[in-house]
Amino acid sequence: MQKFLIKRSKFGFIKRNKQFTQLTSINLFSKIGDRLFYTTMLTLAAALPQANIAVMIISISETVPILMGIILGNLADKQPRKFRGMIQSSLTRALLYLSIGLLLNYRSTLSLIVIIATLNFISDLFGNYSSALSAPFTKILVSADDMTQAQGLVSITSQLVNVLATLGGSLLLTIFLAKTIAVINAGVFLLVSVFFGLLSTHFATTENKIIDHTSKRPVWRLVVENLQTLVTNKKALNDLCQLALINGFFGGITPIFVLFLQKTKVIIFSRAITISLLSSLITLGLIISSALSLKIWRNITTHVLCHYANLLIVVTSLGFILNQLYIILLGSSLTALLLGIVSPRFSTMIINHYPAERLGGIVTTVNSLLVLTPPLTSFIFPVLANFGLTFSYYCLGVYGLMLLSLSYLILHRQTNSTTLN
């Protein structure tokens, strides 16, 4: 019995999936470079007279590369030498951040911020391309039975790395100049390229298992085919729409919450701490549920869990309407908890269902669609608040009800839908 428990533990998973763990560890280390310089860029932008424009440019440079993943993923699928591409991408990113470090020897202006944001944009393109190159290995290296646990571990560690890297970037800024942090970031990517190089020989046999069926087909055709593949699979389409729109809820709630705190007397210590508390509870909910995705509500389908999340969005809306801060905090954190459970299961479903040689395009297409809604809702809900703050609260509730209706339209009106096991 004891041996069985050890076998099913996370350490047992790591032992069974050594190569996957090695590759994932390098990708996580690369994510440090993705976030380490972000706070520095925002700080430089906020110090300018044209702060609003500069911050907007930085935000665009961070968001657009993710949306371009639809194209980058298919380019990655057409690349026969995956590890060579990952090594070259990391080296290019190191050179880009060395260039940023050199540019920061000059006085900070809006033009300089535009150049830095452009280089950061190019770096993120290479980062997303590298992630797509590594996607097929997950399918080959991890068994179907272990896939949910693999995706749960990737989810929780990615979130922790993002938080810690952002915090680390803030701390470094109190010690070093911005140009020094850029050079440190370049060093991170240089190390990543070295690690990929060391692993490449050990993964040669695995890499040969990825059969390329896409090299002779144009990228635009692959993009269309991947979108059609997701649209015709009604269960995958429903889960994708649900996850994207639940993500959108978290994009919209923060600006509404900030406006809510300006009108209410119910705060915890201060408005700044209360805002931080909301963000912390959402992040904590995502992390905890990612860790427990295999252990809780295993017999409840993702479809039902998404329904619960939709209802919690309505409950959160009622918290705003009734001026109940704790209902808002509870509803938001529980919605994040459910999202953290569903996300690894959805990723598992996608990876297990589609062939390895197409996973780069499929996974990046899914990721691009998942991040479309938060920027939109973070813009739309403050606009709705201009018609009245209470009106925006009701719209948040309508948003949750819309998600319930959308699920019915996708699933129950299609009798010949394709399903995933």
Chain-centroid distance, C-alpha 2: 36
The token pair that represents 70 in the structure block: 């639809």
**Phi then psi dihedrals of residue 183, to 5 deg:** -70, -40
Write down the residue that tokens 């850029």 correspond to: 182
- How many Cβ atoms sit within 10 Å of the Cβ of residue 397? 17
- How many Cβ atoms sit within 10 Å of the Cβ of residue 262? 8
User: Percent of the chain scored above 90 by pLDDT?
Assistant: 24
| Exposure on the CB side of residue 313, measured as CA atoms within 13 A | 30
The token pair that represents 329 in the structure block: 């905090």
Distance CA 58, CA 114 (A): 8
State mean pLDDT over 348-358.
79
Helix axes 82-103, 18-36, angle to 10 degrees: 20
Chain-centroid distance, C-alpha 275: 21
Distance CA 196, CA 201 (A): 9
For residue range 370-406, what is the model confidence (pLDDT) as tens digits? Answer: 877 887 887 788 888 888 889 989 999 999 999 888 8
> What is the structure's pLDDT at 294?
65
Pick from 93-97, 150-154, 173-177, 186-190: least confident: 150-154
pLDDT at 206 > cutoff 60: yes
Identity of residue 45:
A
| Exposure on the CB side of residue 339, measured as CA atoms within 13 A | 28
State mean pLDDT over 283-311.
81
Q: How confident is the model at residue 184 (pLDDT cuts 50, 70, 90)?
A: very high
Q: How confident is the model at residue 420 (pLDDT cuts 50, 70, 90)?
A: very low
Predicted TM-score (pTM) of this structure: 0.75
3-state SS string for the chain: CHHHHHHHCHHHHHHHCHHHHHHHHHHHHHHHHHHHCHHHHHHHHHCCCCHHHHHHHHHHHHHHHHHCHHHHHHHHHCCCCHHHHHHHHHHHHHHHHHHHHHHCCCCCCHHHHHHHHHHHHHHHHHHHHHHHHHHHHHHHHCCHHHHHHHHHHHHHHHHHHHHHHHHHHHHHHHHCCHHHHHHHHHHHHHHHHHHHHHHHCCCHHHHHCCCCCCCCCCHHHHHHHHHHHHHHCHHHHHHHHHHHHHHHHHHHHHHHHHHHHHHCCCCCCCHHHHHHHHHHHHHHHHHHHHHHCCCCCCCCCHHHHHHHHHHHHHHHHHHHHCCCHHHHHHHHHHHHHHHHHHHHHHHHHHHHHCCHHHHHHHHHHHHHHHCCHHHHHHHHHHHHHCCCHHHHHHHHHHHHHHHHHHHHHHHCCCCCCCCCC
Distance CA 6, CA 68 (A): 42
CB 147 within 8 A of CB 36: no
pLDDT at 92 > cutoff 90: yes
Distance CA 218, CA 360 (A): 15
**Phi then psi dihedrals of residue 300, to 5 deg:** -95, 130
pLDDT at 355 > cutoff 80: no
The token pair that represents 240 in the structure block: 């994708």
> What is the structure's pLDDT at 411?
65
